[in-house]
Amino acid sequence: MGYWVHLTRSLDQAMLHRDRCLEVPSLPHRADFWDGGWEEYPDKDTALTALENTETSSQRRCPVCKP
């Protein structure tokens, strides 16, 4: 199972999602600095490390899929 980190720089937050979460768009590869973007990770440990390294003030786990 893969994991996704959604980085939203304009809101200064990052959120961790499971691979099959409803909030993950079907084409999640669009990204820019202010909108942020979606990054895929192969396992939970790697995704959590990436989440911690985003340098955002708010780091959350998705309330829908609860990774």
Residue 26 lies in a domain: yes
Residue 67 lies in a domain: no
pLDDT band at 9 (very low <50, low <70, confident <90, very high): confident
pLDDT for the residue numbered 31: 65
pTM, rounded to two decimals: 0.85
Separation in Å, CA 6 to CA 1, 2, 55: 17, 13, 13
| Total tally of structural domains belonging to the chain | 1
* 13-64 pLDDT tens trace: 999 999 999 988 887 566 666 677 889 999 999 999 999 999 899 999 999 9
- Token pair 């609860």 is found at 66
The residue segments making up the domain with residue 22 are 3-61
Residue 54 CB neighbours (<10 A): 19
Backbone angles phi, psi at 52, to 5 degrees: -65, -25
Distance separating alpha carbons of residues 62 and 66, to the nearest angstrom:
5
Distance separating alpha carbons of residues 40 and 31, to the nearest angstrom:
13
